[in-house]
Chains A and B, each alone.
Chain A
C-alpha cells in the first residue's frame, strides 16, 4: 500500500490485513506504556483544510503512539476561496521532510490529486474529502462491527474474519456523506449486506449502481431485515428546509425527518438483541438519534472513537513501516 485514498482501493485480503493489524495495535494500547518505536524519525503531517478536531486528534494520537513526529497544519479555507494553492502547500510540507500527509479537504478528489499529480512523493492518507471518501472511518466502523458481531471468547477481535452475511443499515444523508460511500464499498468488500435508508432527496442520482440496496422506509428495514448493525449518519442543519437563504431544503422540517428516519426508543426496540448502534459523530441528539439510543448499551459510539486510533495506527504502520520492521 502506497496511499490510502478510497475504500475502493482495498480488496478483501488487504482490508482484513488492515483490520488484523489494527487488532494488534489495539492490544498494545492496553499496555501501560502505549508508545511503540515503529515510526521513530518519520514525520506525519496532518493537513486539514476543514475543521475536524476529532479526526485530527485521532490521527495525531495514532502517529504519536507510533513515535512519529507530527506536524499539524490547519489551512483555513483553501485555494477554492483564496490564498496558497494545494500544490504549493503540499510541496512546502514535503520540503520540510514529511513522509506521509494525512489530508482532510472540502473538495472531493483533493487527496487523489495530491497522490497522483506528481506534486509530491509522500504517502497520502485521505482523512475525508468532500462528499467522496473517508476510508479510515469505514475501516474503524468495520473493525467495530467485526469485533462485536464476529468476536468469540477465543478470538475476541475476530482476527482473520470478514463480515460475510452480516446486515448493516446506514441511515441518513447519503447524498452528502463520504462516510456512507466509504462504508458501502468496504462493507460490501468484506461480505456484508448493506442497506441505505434515506429520504429520496438525499440519495444521489447514480447510487443505483452501488453494491447495496436502498430503502426510503426505516421501519420496514428494521422489521423485515433485522439488521445486525445500524449506522446513523449525521444530518447537517443546513440541509433542512425553511431557511431564508433561498436554498431549497432536502426535507420539510427536522421534525418530519426525525419522525421518519430518527433512531428513537421504539425503533431501538425493533432491533434484534445482538444488534449494535454506530454513529460517526458528532451526533445531533434528538434529530437523527435519540438520547436513549445514543446512551443505550447497544451504542458502540465511544468504542468507535477508540478503535479509530488503532485503525489509524495500522494504516500509518502499513504505509510507512511495513517493509522495514515487523510489529513488535
Chain B
C-alpha cells in the first residue's frame, strides 16, 4: 500500500507540518515524518497552506438506496461525500424498503463498503415502516454486521410520546441514541414553509416554529426522565436553541445538530416559489439563522449535519406544493461552515473539526477501534483526514457537483473553503480536488 507524505499541512489550522500516512494510520508527524524511512518511497502531496482536519463525519445523509436509485445511490452519494471531505456518513432509514430490519441495514452497509468512498453507517428506523406505531427490531440492527447505534424515523417525527419513551429506554442496552425529527404532525399538516410574515404574503401553508420546539421540549424531558441519550436532528429555530441550552444546563444528555442551509438561508427565498428552497424543517428567519450560528459557536448545538436530500429533477421542476422537501449538501457543507463561521471569526478550525468530525463520530459511536472516525490527528490514529484550502473562493455549479441529483440551493453562490484531498484509512479518495476511483482487484478495500 502506498504511503503519502503531506508536506506543510496545517493540522487544525496550526503551524505547518509534515504528515506521513501509511498502513491505514498516521505514521509520523513533523520532522519525524520527513526523516521516517518510509517517507523515501512515499508519494508527496504538497499541502502548503492547506488545513488538515480529521475526516468529516455526517450524522444525517440520505443516500436513497434502496428504492430511489434515480435520485442517488450509495455509490454516487458516497463519492459526493468524499469530495465534500467526508470519510464516514450515516445513511438515513427512509429508503424503500425502510431500513427497519437487520437485512436492509446490512445491505446498505455492504453497498457502502463495496463502493469504497467513505464508511457508511446505516441509521435504523425507530418504528416499523416509519409508521410510528411499533418499535422496529432495534436490537437486531444493533447486533448486525452494520452495528447500528443511531435510530431515527427521520422524515417523520416519533410523535407518540409512549413510543418515544420506549425507544429512548430500549437503545440504552447497546448505547444507542434516538435521533428525533422534531415536527408535531398536527401543527404541520400540509405545511410548506416557515409560518410568519413571508408565508402570510405568499400564501403557502405555515410550518410554525412551535411545532419543532414543542417536540424538543417534550423529548428532553423524556430523556431526563428515563436517563437516555437523545439527539435532535436539524434544529432550526431560535426557540429550539434556547430549549437545548436549558436542557444541557440541567445536565440532560442531549445533543443537537444544525444543517448548513439553516446556517445560511432564510424563508425570504420562498418568495421565488422555486422548490430548490423547499426543505423540512423549512428555512426560517434572519433571527433564527443568527440564533443557530450563535448556538453552534457556543457549543449548545453540537454538530453540523448535512441532511443531504437528493431529489430527481421532476420532483423539483414543478409548483412548490407538488415538490419534494430537501436539498443536497454533502459537497457544500464544509464551505458553508467555513464561509459563515470561520471567515466571520465565530469559530476556528479546531471548532470545525469538533462540529464536523469528532462530535458526530462520538454521537454515532464510531469513534473507537480500528475503523474509528473523528480521532485526533496523532501518530497511530486511523489515517482519516481531509485537506482544505481555507482561502479558496469558488462558485457552486450544480452541474459540476458529483451527487446524482442537482437540487442544490447554492447554484451561482460564491463560497470560501474548498476540499483538496480526502484520505480514508490512508487511501486517497480525493486528490487535487478530484475523486480518485477506488481500485478493487477483487479485494476488500481497507
Q: Does B445 touch A at the CB level, under 8 Å?
A: no
Query: Is B200's CB under 8 angstroms from A109's CB?
Result: no
Query: Is A206's CB under 8 angstroms from B201's CB?
Result: yes
Residue numbers in B under 8 Å from A109 (CB-CB): 202-204, 273, 319-321
Instruction: State the CA gap A117–B273 with chains docked (Å).
Output: 10
Query: Is A178's CB under 8 angstroms from B206's CB?
Result: no
Residue numbers in A under 8 Å from B206 (CB-CB): 204-206
Closest to A110 in B: B319
Residue numbers in A under 8 Å from B321 (CB-CB): 80, 106-109, 130
Given A205-B196, A206-B197, decide whether A133 and B319 contact each other with a Cβ distance below 8 A.
no
Instruction: State the CA gap A204–B205 with chains docked (Å).
Output: 9
Residue in contact with B318 in the complex, picked from A85, A129, A209, CB distance below 8 Å: A85
Instruction: State the CA gap A15–B199 with chains docked (Å).
Output: 25
Query: Is A205's CB under 8 angstroms from B195's CB?
Result: yes
Closest to B275 in A: A113
Q: Does A161 touch B at the CB level, under 8 Å?
A: no
Query: Is A205's CB under 8 angstroms from B208's CB?
Result: yes
Q: Does B314 touch A at the CB level, under 8 Å?
A: yes
Query: Is B198's CB under 8 angstroms from A132's CB?
Result: no
Given A204-B206, A205-B196, A205-B200, decide whether A108 and B318 contact each other with a Cβ distance below 8 A.
no
Looking at B192, B201, B317, B319, the one whose CB has the most chain A CB atoms below 10 A away is B319
Residue in contact with B203 in the complex, picked from A79, A132, A208, CB distance below 8 Å: A132
Residue numbers in A under 8 Å from B319 (CB-CB): 78-80, 86, 105, 107, 109-110, 113
Q: Does A27 touch B at the CB level, under 8 Å?
A: no
Query: Is A85's CB under 8 angstroms from B314's CB?
Result: yes
Q: List CB contacts (< 8 Å) of A55-113 with chain B.
A: 78-80, 85-87, 105-110, 112-113
Residue numbers in B under 8 Å from A133 (CB-CB): 203
Looking at A112, A133, A206, the one whose CB has the most chain B CB atoms below 10 A away is A206
Q: Does A207 touch B at the CB level, under 8 Å?
A: yes
Q: Does A29 touch B at the CB level, under 8 Å?
A: no
Instruction: State the CA gap A116–B192 with chains docked (Å).
Output: 20
Q: List CB contacts (< 8 Å) of A115-134 with chain B.
A: 116-117, 129-133
- What's the least CB distance linking B412 to chain A, in Å? 15
Residue numbers in B under 8 Å from A79 (CB-CB): 318-319, 322
Q: List CB contacts (< 8 Å) of B303-337 with chain A.
A: 314, 317-322
Q: List CB contacts (< 8 Å) of A232-260 with chain B.
A: none
Instruction: State the CA gap A76–B253 with chains docked (Å).
Output: 52
Contact with B along A201-234 (1 / 0, CB 8 A): 0001111111000000000000000000000000
Given A79-B322, A80-B319, A113-B318, decide whether A108 and B196 contact each other with a Cβ distance below 8 A.
no
Given A205-B196, A205-B208, A209-B197, decide whether A178 and B317 contact each other with a Cβ distance below 8 A.
no
Residue numbers in A under 8 Å from B192 (CB-CB): 108
- What's the least CB distance linking A132 to chain B, in Å? 3
Closest to B208 in A: A205
Q: Does A181 touch B at the CB level, under 8 Å?
A: yes
Closest to A176 in B: B203
- What's the least CB distance linking A113 to chain B, in Å? 5
Query: Is A108's CB under 8 angstroms from B314's CB?
Result: no
Instruction: State the CA gap A112–B208 with chains docked (Å).
Output: 24
Instruction: State the CA gap A204–B204 with chains docked (Å).
Output: 11
Contact with A along B262-291 (1 / 0, CB 8 A): 000000000011100000000000000000
Looking at B201, B272, B274, the one whose CB has the most chain A CB atoms below 10 A away is B201
Instruction: State the CA gap A131–B190 with chains docked (Å).
Output: 13
How many residues of chain B have a CB within 8 Å of chain A? 24
Instruction: State the CA gap A79–B316 with chains docked (Å).
Output: 12
Instruction: State the CA gap A204–B321 with chains docked (Å).
Output: 18
Query: Is B199's CB under 8 angstroms from A206's CB?
Result: yes
Instruction: State the CA gap A210–B272 with chains docked (Å).
Output: 19
Instruction: State the CA gap A168–B203 with chains docked (Å).
Output: 22
Instruction: State the CA gap A160–B212 with chains docked (Å).
Output: 51
Instruction: State the CA gap A210–B195 with chains docked (Å).
Output: 15
Query: Is A129's CB under 8 angstroms from B317's CB?
Result: no
Closest to A178 in B: B203
Q: List CB contacts (< 8 Å) of B41-57 with chain A.
A: none
- What's the least CB distance linking A138 to chain B, in Å? 14
Instruction: State the CA gap A210–B274 with chains docked (Å).
Output: 23
Residue numbers in A under 8 Å from B203 (CB-CB): 108-109, 129-133, 178, 181
Query: Is A107's CB under 8 angstroms from B200's CB?
Result: no
Instruction: State the CA gap A184–B308 with chains docked (Å).
Output: 39
Instruction: State the CA gap A51–B314 with chains docked (Å).
Output: 26
Instruction: State the CA gap A77–B372 with chains docked (Å).
Output: 52
Contact with B along A127-149 (1 / 0, CB 8 A): 00111110000000000000000
- What's the least CB distance linking B267 to chain A, in Å? 10
Closest to A87 in B: B317
- What's the least CB distance linking A7 to chain B, in Å? 11
- What's the least CB distance linking B228 to chain A, in Å? 32
Instruction: State the CA gap A178–B204 with chains docked (Å).
Output: 11
Given A79-B322, A80-B319, A113-B318, decide whether A108 and B200 contact each other with a Cβ distance below 8 A.
no
Residue numbers in B under 8 Å from A208 (CB-CB): 197
Residue numbers in A under 8 Å from B201 (CB-CB): 181, 206, 209-210
Q: List CB contacts (< 8 Å) of B173-208 with chain A.
A: 192, 195-206, 208
Closest to A114 in B: B319
Residue numbers in A under 8 Å from B198 (CB-CB): 206
Query: Is A117's CB under 8 angstroms from B208's CB?
Result: no
Looking at B197, B205, B208, B273, the one whose CB has the most chain A CB atoms below 10 A away is B273
Instruction: State the CA gap A298–B272 with chains docked (Å).
Output: 41
- What's the least CB distance linking A324 to chain B, in Å? 31
Instruction: State the CA gap A106–B205 with chains docked (Å).
Output: 12
Query: Is B204's CB under 8 angstroms from A108's CB?
Result: yes
Query: Is B273's CB under 8 angstroms from A112's CB?
Result: yes
Looking at A87, A181, A204, the one whose CB has the most chain B CB atoms below 10 A away is A204
Extra contacts besides A108-B320, A112-B272, A204-B200 (6): CB < 8 Å:
A85-B314, A107-B320, A107-B322, A108-B202, A205-B196, A205-B199
Leading 5 A-B pairs by shortest Cβ distance = A206-B200, A132-B203, A109-B273, A108-B203, A131-B203
Interface residues of A (CB under 8 A from B): 78-80, 85-87, 105-110, 112-113, 116-117, 129-133, 178, 181, 204-210
Question: Can you give 15 A-B contacts (C-beta < 8 A)?
Answer: A79-B319, A85-B322, A86-B319, A108-B203, A108-B320, A109-B202, A109-B320, A109-B321, A129-B203, A131-B205, A133-B203, A205-B199, A206-B198, A206-B199, A206-B200
